[in-house]
A and B are shown apart, each in its own frame.
Chain A
């Protein structure tokens, strides 16, 4: 679980959803802002064009009516200057000389007749000559020496001369630029805000999903009474939780049924077995002749075998249905194997078998101790029964990734090739085997119930190999107190 919480935020679903949502949102708002910008820019242009057209008409009118005497230049010049002070979109903060407007009148021969504005007007005239300016329609005009283009409207008056009124686009562009900056900041703010909101809401929602998933994985095989957490809201997540819980209800009830069946089967068979065994023991105690005791003893032994078979087949049946009940406690595999070797070594050396363990020390897993004991005993019994004299049995215990790996190898004849492909099935046994054919099925069942895996096969160099892996549920923290306990005792 610690690995889940340590998972970087960037790899979470909430992060990806937020990224995509933000991308869509950013594109959308960007389009809206572009549209707004175009609209505003067009509007400003229209307003300045309307002003230009109006003013140039007024100036044309004035120029026509003013008599062409010595005062003409002054009258028209002052009117033009006055008009220049009412420029739309004017940046009021700047108090420089009014260089954003110019008034230019050309004679019918195209020469500069009257100039009002900054500079001599020569460069403006050159620019006007180089551009085709249609009267009554404002046009952009680039003038050499000026950073910003001018918007120029012209009119032809009846004496054949042209009047040009130019308005620098400087202020207009400045307005648009500050508008763009504001738009950009606003857009950035909106996008970040949107990302934040989407990220936190999806993360909150997905954290419910994660809680459900974690709870569901905790429920596992053995504990089916727990349920995933539900919320009061009526959304998809709470539906998911409710559906999972309903499913768990059904699984629990069918598991319960299976347990009831196996329990009552066990009970119904064990009670007569107990009575028979007890009566046999009582009658054995009354026997004085060894010949009379022999059959009773062998029946008792058969009964014990039958009991063992009954236990194992019910365990295998439950494990096949993923319903084996486990009572998990920390078990040190290294210690368990050493005890088992201690128990089996005399029988093995009696038969001329050598057994060796290769282990790097304590290796604790969470397992059902009783089942694990029976399973390992089963593997040892198998070796003892099937491996011929003068063979070596090698046990290797190691940690691989997040699993405890236990490998049992021998240099005997190996598995019968005929049964090799279905070793873990019930009632499969080699030709020479006198067992009930449950051994490896039981080993497989116990391992699976613990979330592990078993493989069995023949080694290339001859002999059988059985490899068992168990997930390492116990981490270092739970191993430490075990070691401390062992140290104290």
Chain B
């Protein structure tokens, strides 16, 4: 990283992945929840991953994030578990010892499984069949990944799969307000002079208020690219945005989590 010192003025240490999720949940009930949805405190998740190391850290992180996790190390176990338990969401690794992850997903779909699937792939190219599944409402993530991104993608899948309410036209995070129709943002009632791109970036942060977003998530969602620049391009955007949103004497909202990403404070 070649981040300049000035970008580090707002560093704090990433607490626990689960904590950010929980705080959002609480915020969602009390304050205006930007995503406009309510989470069941115990989402049931089936994790199909044969690498024991990966399975164990994923299980612990997901449990901390509030999921009730069942894990399977092969396709057969996964099939058995999927029949017995009602799962809200699945994480399936493509390289299973006994069968191909995609065949497993097709088999589970035939068995009447409707829950969305997040596909994990260590392969180089994204299989056409994965693309097909992606169009069908599932999502994929290539290894290695950031935990925050995994959690964000899971949330997105659950949100897509839940009955959607009316799309909000305003987002509010503490004293920051975004008018999505007029594409205007105000902080404590004062209009912020944002460029189009800055507004899109701020909107993305607001929609994920209280949760960590990684640089690759920002690049994917705001600029529509899955790239890994080895320069600090995203940081400079955030730094500029922070300069406009967090004025003098105001409570800083945008925080940098070194090595992880950014978070927009929601309390």
Residues of chain A at the chain B interface (Cβ within 8 Å): 262-263, 266-267, 270-279, 281-282, 284-290, 293-294, 296-298, 300-301, 303-305, 307-308, 311, 314-315, 325, 327, 339, 342-344, 346-347, 350, 370, 373-374, 377, 380-381, 384-385, 435
Residues of A within 8 A of B36 (CB): none
B147 at the interface (CB under 8 A from A): yes
Cβ-Cβ contact count across A and B, 8 Å cutoff: 134
Given contacts A325-B125, A346-B240, A377-B229, is CB(A278)–CB(B61) below 8 Å? yes
Q: Which of A266, A294, A384, A385 contacts B123 (CB 8 A)?
A: A266
Q: A336 to chain B: closest CB distance in Å?
A: 9
- Among B11, B60, B259, the one with the most A-chain Cβ atoms within 10 Å of its Cβ is B259
Of B16, B61, B197, which is within 8 A of A342 by CB?
B197
Give 26 A-B contacts (CB < 8 Å), ordered by A residue. Answer: A267-B95, A270-B122, A270-B142, A270-B143, A271-B54, A271-B143, A275-B51, A275-B57, A278-B61, A282-B61, A284-B13, A293-B13, A293-B259, A300-B259, A301-B259, A308-B230, A325-B125, A327-B131, A339-B224, A343-B225, A344-B233, A346-B233, A346-B240, A347-B232, A370-B126, A370-B226
Q: Find chain B residues with CB under 8 A from A435 CB.
A: 230
Contacts of A385 in B (CB 8 A): 231
B233 in complex: contacting residue of A284, A298, A347, CB < 8 Å: A347
Q: What are the interface flags for B135-146 relative to A under an 8 Å C-beta threshold, 1 for contact and 0 otherwise?
A: 000000011111
**B197: A residues at CB distance < 8 A:** 342
Number of interface residues of B (CB under 8 A): 47
Option from A274, A327, A339 in Cβ contact (under 8 Å) with B54:
A274
Taken together as a complex, chains A and B put the C-alpha atoms of A457 and B264 apart, in Å, by: 44
CB contacts (< 8 Å) of A347 on chain B: these are: 231-233, 236
Q: Are B145 and A297 in contact, CB atoms less than 8 angstroms apart?
A: no
B1 in the interface, Cβ–Cβ < 8 Å?
A: yes
B183 on the A face (CB < 8 A): no
By the criterion CB–CB under 8 Å, are B17 and A281 in contact? yes
Determine the chain B residues whose CB is within 8 A of the CB of A273 once the complex forms: 143-144
> Are A342 and B223 interface neighbours, CB within 8 A?
yes
Contacts of A284 in B (CB 8 A): 13-14, 259-260
Cβ < 8 Å to A, chain B residues 1-38 = 1, 11, 13-17
A281 near B230 with CB under 8 A, answer no
Closest to B196 in A: A342
Known: A263-B123, A278-B58, A279-B57. 6 other contacts (CB 8 A): A266-B122, A271-B51, A271-B143, A274-B143, A300-B260, A327-B125
